[in-house]
Amino acid sequence: MLLLKICSVCFTVALYLYCKRLNRKKPGWLTSPIILTPLAMMGILFTIGLPYEEYQHATSLFTEALNMVTVAFAIPLYRNWAILRANWRVIVFSLSVGSLAAIIGGMIPTYLLGMGGQAVLSVIPRSITTPIAVSLSESIHGIPALTAVFVMLTSFAGMYLGPKIMRLFHVRHPLAIGMMYGMGAHALGTVKAFERGEVEGTVSSLSNIVGAIITVAWAFMLLPIVQAWMT
């Protein structure tokens, strides 16, 4: 078992580094290591016949590391406190509405598709950054691995659809652009937002944190209602 843990962790890190190097040679979100690494890992697990449960247990170190990353998100919140203080009404209201819409917009299709109660709970944190989303999913009895997939799909959709929506509705305000990227595409969106400008990137980074806090609050407030709805 110890050998499996060492090999799984080392191979996963090596695969990620290789995908990251590949992305540098051929930049683009389709060649992002966030996409290529899990796809390649799924193919390898299928080929060698290793059950996902055993791989997940062997690489539990990564899950534990996410908890430390979650605490580190307090740093950008502190650094960007001046922007939050100056625009807190707009930011909090916009992210609150966006977070609620994302939760409802994820739960209803998941429920109607018959994916099951745990999948419905797992989709609730899909619009927040992965470390916090995984922790929240575990707290509300979702499936953390499935939540991670929902988060990635949401992030990729936000990266692809975000610029199109901004052009369609003529969104030009830095706060609006930053919040759209931060709430809709998470870390990938923040990178894209910084390409638009310093204010957009800063607001996007801030939206990652504040949006996550708001989503956690919504999740625990709505949890009894959701559980009653599904029974």
> Are the beta carbons of 193 and 200 closer than 8 angstroms?
yes
Comparing 176 with 62, which gets the higher pLDDT?
Answer: 176
| Average pLDDT score over residue span 84-98 | 90
The tens digit of pLDDT for each residue in 26-44 reads 877 677 787 788 888 888 8
Q: What is the mean pLDDT of the chain?
A: 86
| Average pLDDT score over residue span 142-170 | 88
- Could you give the CA distance from residue 41 to residue 25 in angstroms, rounded to a whole number? 21
Q: Domain segments of the chain: what residues?
A: 2-58, 76-230
* pLDDT at 75 (0 to 100): 75
pTM above 0.95, yes or no: no
The tens digit of pLDDT for each residue in 180-195 reads 998 888 877 887 888 8
Alpha carbon distances (Å) from 111 to 84, 118, 121, 149, 168: 35, 10, 10, 17, 30
Q: What is the 3-state secondary structure (H, E, C) of the chain?
A: CHHHHHHHHHHHHHHHHHHHHHHHHCCCHHHCHHHHHHHHHHHHHHHHCCCHHHHHHHCHHHHHHHHHHHHHCHHHHHHCHHHHHHCHHHHHHHHHHHHHHHHHHHHHHHHHCCCCHHHHHHHCCCCCCHHHHHHHHHHCCCCHHHHHHHHHHHHHHHHHHHHHHHHHCCCCCHHHHHHHHHHHHHHHHHHHHHHHCHHHHHHHHHHHHHHHHHHHHHHHHHHHHHHHHHC
| Average pLDDT score over residue span 11-20 | 89
